[in-house]
Amino acid sequence: MQKTEAEILLQKYVEGSATNDEKALLEAWYSKSKFASASDFTAEAKLLQLERLRSSLKAHSDNAENIYLPKKVIIWPRIAVAASLLLFICFGAYFFTSKSNKTRLLSVQQTHDIAPGNNKAILTLANGEKIAIGSTKTIALAFQGNTRIDIGAANEVTYHTDRSQPNNTIQYNTLTTPRGGQYPLTLSDGTKVWLDAASSITFPVSFTGDSREVRITGQVYFEVAHNPKKPFKVRTNDEIVEVLGTHFNINTYPDEPASKTTLFEGSVKIITQGSHKFLKPGQQAEVSAGQIGVVDHADVDEALAWHNGLFQFNDADIQTVMRQLSRWYDVDISYEGKITNRRFSGKIQRNISALKLSDILSYKEINFRIEGKKIIVTP
């Protein structure tokens, strides 16, 4: 829909001929606009507000490269789907920006769709038994030595160790998320762990000795329980991250160019075979080929976006964007024609289907079609 068509919709509101759905759409958008006041549309102010709407519409059209939609737009349930689509079409606002000046809208005609990822994982016990975990709440899963394993009220796997019952045998469990899955975990020491899609953590059922050590793959966010007598260590294929008590995220997917550890609170020590570095809050360590680089002012929001239910990119190339989609929607990615060298920034909620995502990304000419469990990126 062109800008002139959007203005027709605004004019219909002023004239009183807009339908209830059109009114709801305009009011929802207006309430989230930067120029909105506390008052709603009123009969006395309609004309003045229309001019403001038109001015904002023009600004959206002239400066589309810098537009971000609000994180959430509250729209009445009966028109939620239609309104969310019309907000993109009518007003030219984008979650995504890029360094291209092209802003054409492509119509995506597809019948296949893929649901977004959700909470699911596989828990492998010390004896090799595997337990599939979904969204079930508050259920006992198993016992391992002196430790009870259950799913708590917050829908996380939780380990409860009975310290009055000694257990000298160290048993290891592994929690694994598939592509299209994520899951939270609370270790026996109280450390909280969140696994992104296609990730795993192997850990002792109960921590013994003078240290706490786990091994991970993929992407994992930690909130480590403070215990100065027992340092907490996270092992990956490339490094060891050593902490006492802190909040940090590790992205160590094998298909990413570097392993990244981002620190939010406390301090951590990054150790490789050749060197070590200490991180302060707001810093990010990048480990590649055994070398450690430190980014002083890291984009911590981008690093933790997945944990907050978002895709978020800062000057990312198309392959970086599609790798995240591949893991979250459990699809394979292929490219037709020349791969664009444009860079992309912005954020999108992760709780939408792949087809809705394709509608959004098409605004910035990230175009793809869905064929079964495959996304094909096209020029």
Block means of pLDDT (10 residues each) for the chain, length 379 residues?
57 71 62 44 47 52 36 35 41 45 39 88 95 80 89 86 78 97 96 98 93 96 94 95 94 96 96 92 94 94 96 93 96 92 90 90 84 89
Task: Specify whether domain 118-254+296-303 bears CATH 2.60.120.1440.
Answer: yes
**CA dist list (Å): 240 to 193, 285, 348:** 17, 12, 32
Task: Specify whether domain 309-378 bears CATH 1.20.120.1770.
Answer: no
> CA dihedral defined by 373, 120, 360, 258, rounded to 10 degrees?
-90
Q: Return the pLDDT at 49.
A: 52
Q: Smallest Cα–Cα separation from 236: which of 199, 184, 210?
A: 199
Is the CB of residue 106 less than 8 Å from the CB of residue 379? Answer: no
**CA dist list (Å): 134 to 139, 144, 219, 337:** 11, 21, 19, 39
Q: Return the pLDDT at 188.
A: 94
Own/partner pairs, 372-376, CB within 8 angstroms, 24+ separation: 372/112, 373/114, 373/330, 373/331, 373/332, 374/331, 374/332, 374/333, 374/334, 375/322, 375/325, 375/326, 375/329, 375/331, 375/332, 375/333, 375/334, 376/334, 376/335, 376/336
| Whole-number Å distance between alpha carbons of 159 and 186 | 6
| Whole-number Å distance between alpha carbons of 317 and 270 | 27
Q: Return the pLDDT at 18.
A: 76
Where, residue-wise, is CATH 2.60.120.1440 in the chain? Answer: 118-254+296-303
Where, residue-wise, is CATH 3.55.50.30 in the chain? Answer: 309-378
